[in-house]
């Protein structure tokens, strides 16, 4: 069984890599919880959050490692989102708010109090230059570098291109630090293959399916990270 942990924003949350297998049923209810599916050769756990930020992904990864839910031999698919999205603490968000609304409610394992960490992506909600940061890309890449040291089978995937002013330098960083990646983003690949966007300017299901079957799956096989049942 190929055990995969998937992190990302809506570019992952809209499909949870379900096209790795045929006719996988993905829960379409409240996305507050972690989405899991298992079929054929794959067991996938997706922590993706609509409108989520890279630091939300780091919190989810760190907490799941703390809970012993991510083994060092597991595959991690890390879908990079905009580094200008910032996770902030909002005291007026209820625990019942969900991932579908761009909210992460999780424990802070590094405090002595039972307080909850509540993060919300603000880049699309508050248009204030004073809230933008140049540190996001540094935090994203160096956190990912650390994750790669623990989970050596970590694959970086780009959601879309325009959020990176110098995507070439991001790719250069990944290569210099032996972080495997798929250079063509999900959105740009979908466009190149002639798939239309959906109502929210994301790929339609056919675009996600095409990328999964013709970019992700071949890459995992090329890296020799996945195996068949009889191997």
Flag whether pLDDT at 211 surpasses 90.
yes
Whole-number Cα distances in Å, 115 to 34, 101, 182: 20, 21, 38
Mean pLDDT rounded to a whole number for the chain:
85
| pLDDT, tens digit, 9 for 90 and up, residues 3-18 | 999 999 999 999 999 9
Flag whether pLDDT at 98 surpasses 80.
no
Flag whether pLDDT at 61 surpasses 90.
yes
| pLDDT, tens digit, 9 for 90 and up, residues 22-43 | 877 776 544 456 889 999 999 9
Looking at residues 185-197, what average pLDDT do you find?
96
Cα gap 189→203, rounded to integer Å: 9
Flag whether pLDDT at 190 surpasses 90.
yes
The helix (H) or strand (E) run that includes residue 81 is none
Looking at residues 103-124, what average pLDDT do you find?
67
* Other CB atoms within 10 A of residue 206 CB: 14
Six token digits for residue 90: 């909002």
Give the global pTM.
Answer: 0.89
Residue with tokens 């013709």: 214
| pLDDT, tens digit, 9 for 90 and up, residues 117-171 | 666 555 445 545 545 556 788 999 999 999 999 999 999 999 999 999 899 999 9
Contacts 24+ apart (CB under 8 A), 15-24: 15/205, 15/208, 15/209, 15/212, 16/44, 16/46, 16/48, 17/44, 17/46, 17/77, 17/212, 17/216, 18/44, 19/208, 19/209, 19/212, 19/213, 20/44, 20/212, 20/216, 20/217
Which one has a higher pLDDT value, 116 or 52? 52
Cα gap 53→121, rounded to integer Å: 6
Flag whether pLDDT at 116 surpasses 90.
no
Flag whether pLDDT at 87 surpasses 90.
no
pLDDT score of 31: 47
pLDDT score of 24: 79
Whole-number Cα distances in Å, 162 to 42, 46, 193: 31, 24, 18
Percent pLDDT > 70 in the chain is: 79
pLDDT score of 177: 98
Which one has a higher pLDDT value, 69 or 50? 69
pLDDT score of 30: 47
């Amino acid at each position: 069984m190929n055990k995969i942990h998937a992190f990302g924003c809506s570019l992952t949350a809209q499909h949870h890599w379900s096209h790795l297998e045929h006719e996988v049923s993905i829960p379409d209810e409240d996305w507050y919880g972690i989405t899991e599916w298992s079929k054929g050769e794959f067991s996938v756990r997706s922590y993706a959050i609509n409108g989520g930020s890279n630091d939300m992904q780091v919190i989810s990864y760190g907490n799941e490692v703390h809970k012993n839910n991510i083994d060092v031999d597991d595959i991690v698919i890390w879908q990079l989102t905009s580094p200008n999205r910032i996770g902030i603490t909002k005291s007026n968000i209820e625990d019942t708010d969900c991932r579908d609304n761009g909210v992460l409610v999780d424990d802070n394992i590094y405090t002595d109090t039972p307080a909850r960490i509540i993060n919300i992506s603000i880049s699309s909600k508050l248009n204030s230059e004073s809230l933008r940061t140049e540190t996001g890309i540094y935090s994203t890449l160096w956190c990912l570098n650390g994750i790669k040291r623990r989970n050596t089978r970590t694959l970086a995937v780009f959601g879309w291109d325009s959020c990176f002013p110098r995507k070439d330098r991001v790719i250069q960083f990944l290569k210099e630090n032996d972080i495997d990646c798929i250079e063509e983003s999900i959105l740009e690949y979908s466009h190149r293959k002639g798939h239309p966007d959906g109502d929210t300017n994301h790929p339609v299901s056919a675009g996600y399916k095409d990328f999964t079957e013709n970019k992700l799956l071949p890459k995992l096989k090329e890296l020799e990270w996945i195996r068949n049942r009889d191997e």
